[in-house]
Amino acid sequence: MVNNNFHERTALALSFLILNNYLLLILNLPQLIIKINFLIFLLTIFIFYFKNFLENPFLKLSFLFLIFISLGTATFDWDPRSNYLFHAKRIFYDQSVLSVADNYAVFSHNEYPTLVPAFASSLAILIGHWNEVFPKLSFSLVFLPPLIFAYSFFKDTRYLIFLSIVFFTIGNFLFNGWVDGILAMYFCLSAFLMYFLIISNEYKEKSNSFYYLLALCFFITLTLIKNEGTVLLLIIFLATIIIKLFKKKLGNNIAKLILLSFSFIPIILWKLFCYSKGLGHEFLHTDIITNLLSRSEDFNNYKLVSYFLLLNEKFLITLTFFLISCWVKLDKEILSFVFIVSIIYIFILFFVYFTTPHDLYFQLNSTAARVVRSLSFFFAFFGLYNLRHYKKI
């Protein structure tokens, strides 16, 4: 069991400052306060880099590399350019997250959560102007809290393997302006924190309030990255409840789960605000039942969805790695948790694709590789964690 070491405190501080930035913009507070919050965030990173400079060199050097790549590349893809960075630009000029109430530029999905765009806009506020390149750097900075936190459980060679997994599964989504990589990272570390706090019997000090505060920060962040984040957090809760029900220990953990469920409050408030302003109502008219029934009758649709999701090369490689890790060292708690989470997630993905109002092939071809990235990283992370005591690594 690790103590509340420097890496964990740094991860909590950075995560809190990201969420605090979002709150400051929602409250429409003076720009000076927003600048101070972002400067404290950058100062925390500076302290992390130069206190015990030679500790965790793999992350420090690789993240500097990512910063240079992010600053040296423009964004051309539709979603980051016309959704996330466009929202960041609006927040910068309107100086408010809630300015989407006018539903300007409906194509940008004004009902989407805007935690990451709000953070990008604050970097532009700090610098004093907007351009189409440097705000994207903030997207990479949001990766830091979970990357730093993971060092508490993967040391030396294992952490180098962990970073290799990050680069393999998330890849250019670390710097290209999409939020799917951020979603995958926070989903996996949120799932790990739930496993760490509620499911695992290995740790005796897991009642420490520090880890619950960190879990709340990560859970809230997950829901505010993208709409899918709320579904992913619900899956984590549902899998945990199923396991505890099976072990007949749900009553012993119900108070903890209720406490952690408070993390849904910010996204619920955001969705209530959007609903009150009529944002996203055009998507409520989709005939879900008709689409589901018509597609479920054709077996070719099952094969098509399975091909794009389950035959993805990164999905297959990471799933194989996880299964091999279970063969080397069987941990029934990890296996059951990963199995239940992944089965529920895959079932929901099938449901979503079968009910989409768009052409099924087009939707799969444009989104499946990004969506399955979360599961790929999830398998690889827990496969490596399962081998944490394996002496040959």
Q: Could you tell me the residue ranges of all domains in the chain?
A: 6-276, 286-393
With 80 as the cut, is the pLDDT of residue 332 above it?
yes
Rounded mean pLDDT of 23-39?
95
Q: What b/e sequence results for 173-193 when a residue is b if at least 16 CB atoms lie within 10 Å of its CB, and e otherwise? A: bbbbbbbbbbbbbbbbbbbbb
Specify the pLDDT at position 24.
Answer: 96
Would the pLDDT of 239 be above 60?
yes
Tokens read off for 51: 């206190």
What percent of the chain stands above pLDDT 70? 95
pLDDT beyond 80 at 2: no
Query: For residue 105, what pLDDT band results from cuts at 50, 70 and 90?
Result: confident
Residue 286 has pLDDT above 70, yes or no: no
What is the arithmetic mean of pLDDT over 174-189? 96
393 pLDDT tier (thresholds 50, 70, 90): low
Query: What's the whole-model pTM score?
Result: 0.95
pLDDT at 351: 96
- Residue 204: pLDDT above 70? no
Name every residue whose Cβ is closer than 8 Å to that of residue 140 and which is 6 or more positions away in sequence.
63, 66, 67, 70, 174, 175
Q: Is 137 helix (H, G, I), strand (E, B) or coil?
A: helix
pLDDT at 206 over 60: no
Q: What is the largest CA-CA distance in the chain?
A: 61
- Quote the mean pLDDT of the chain: 92
Q: Which residue has the higher pLDDT, 101 or 185?
A: 185
pLDDT of residue 1: 39
Which pLDDT does position 78 carry in this prediction?
A: 86
What mean pLDDT is predicted for residues 337-344? Answer: 98
Q: Tell me, what's the pLDDT at 95?
A: 86
pLDDT value, residue 322:
98
> Tokens 């423009």 correspond to what residue?
74
CA 1 distance to own-chain centroid: 25
